Amino acid sequence: MREDKMAARRLRLAILYQLPESWGNVRSVWEAAQDDAQIEVIVVMLPFIHKDYRWQREQSQAHLDALGVPFLAWDTFALEDAGFDAVLYTSPYDETRPEAYRFANLRQHVRCITYVPYGLEVGGGEHNYVYQYGQPVTAQATAVFVRSEGVRQMFARHCPTGSSHVQVTGHPRMDGLVDLLRFDVDPTLREAIGDRRAVLWNAHFSIDGDLWSTFDLLAGDILAAFATRPDLALVLRPHPLLWKKLANLNILDEAGICALKRELAARGVIVDERTDHRHAFAVSEAMMSDVGSFLMEYLATGKPVLYLRNPHGLGLNEEGSAVVRHYQVADDAAGVERFIDQLRQGHDTLAESRRAAIGQFFHAFDGRAGQRVVTAIKELLA
């Protein structure tokens, strides 16, 4: 009887979209659902409410329009009348959403609530484990879809409800990196790099509190190192919250941030704020990164990585500690210079180790994680 009902009515899956930068986490889920005759997939655009982020409705709308993704804005329909069978969260934090879309309310209207982690968690600290594994969405969802068995074990250790609801499907975010060599890179980025060798610099925003960022500690040293090596192009990709964080801490005002960007451009530094990070991943030959998702994700490229360690911060969780065993580590100018000079000389002693570790951290890594998520949601609704 249930199969007859499924055949008669398409399942309604809502993907909750809050940030342009997070679309890559669910892109392949949306594509797989689009191709499934049993599913009607609806993207619901929500605001992202955060003191360190300036959410702009027009920017989110323009992003989805540019991608050709139809969507409904959260304030244009009544959730209780939408008839969603399943919802896919892209952020665990209820305080970033309108009240109606917070977990306690949503579960009154939707029978299957799922979540794809918004980041590839590497940060340590007991209170951070609450943020990553103890939110209502992460602890009480019908299912959480994760990148590896290691992440499932992190849930087993740190989630108050354990890991019985966690499914190792592979992370849909990784589907876009399986064939990175064929990715259509923005030609303006390639033009800006020219004949230089590009190094990606990923700077976190936590220059207070958790202290995962080294932006305030190492930026001067990094800029000085690249200034004396004109054969290298530095591609700075700041965390989406970094600029607003600098303003909120009264380090730089809006005019100061604009001046900083102009100064960086004058130095030959490329500030990459494209919504799709694959452009920067594809053109770079190596990466230097604070604690953050990229520290895990970039492993899949097989390219060299330098972990920028803040000696005063919370550091890494178990998964983060495991992945940086395949990287170099620096917390001073000498370490940065050693890394980039080894790159220039073609010395990469950890190459084999990194490539061998990809399967450990990314289940399957075959470009079909999004399809596995869709299949799992259908099975949960059967």
160 and 193 belong to one structural domain: no
322 and 234 belong to one structural domain: yes
217 and 291 belong to one structural domain: yes
Tell me the C-alpha distance between 32 and 324, whole Å: 33
Strand pairing partners for 330? 308
234 and 149 belong to one structural domain: no
Q: What is the CATH number of the domain that holds 218?
A: 3.40.50.2000
Tell me the C-alpha distance between 304 and 334, whole Å: 17
Whole-number pLDDT of residue 1: 44
120 and 231 belong to one structural domain: no
Residues of the chain with pLDDT under 70: 1-8
Task: Give yes or no for a contact between 206 and 212, defined as CB atoms under 8 angstroms apart.
Answer: yes
% helix / strand / coil in the chain, to the nearest 5?
45, 15, 35
165 and 246 belong to one structural domain: no
The HSE-up count of residue 3 (CA atoms within 13 Å, CB side) is 0
**Cβ atoms < 10 Å from Cβ of 135:** 20
Tell me the C-alpha distance between 272 and 280, whole Å: 7
227 and 350 belong to one structural domain: yes
Whole-number pLDDT of residue 8: 64
Whole-number pLDDT of residue 6: 46
CA 95 to chain centre: 19
Three-state DSSP state, 270: strand
Amino acid at 10: R
Query: Residue 251 belongs to what domain range?
Result: 180-361
Whole-number pLDDT of residue 60: 97
108 and 238 belong to one structural domain: no
225 and 155 belong to one structural domain: no
Quote the mean pLDDT of the chain: 96
Total domain count for the chain? 2
Q: What is the pTM of this model?
A: 0.95
Which ranges of 234-382 does DSSP label H, i.e. alpha helix?
242-248, 254-266, 278-283, 293-297, 318-323, 333-345, 351-361, 369-381
Instruction: Note the pLDDT tens digit of each residue in 116-150.
Output: 999 888 999 999 999 999 999 999 999 999 999 99
Angle among Cα 291, 292, 294 to the nearest 5 degrees reads: 115
15 and 115 belong to one structural domain: yes
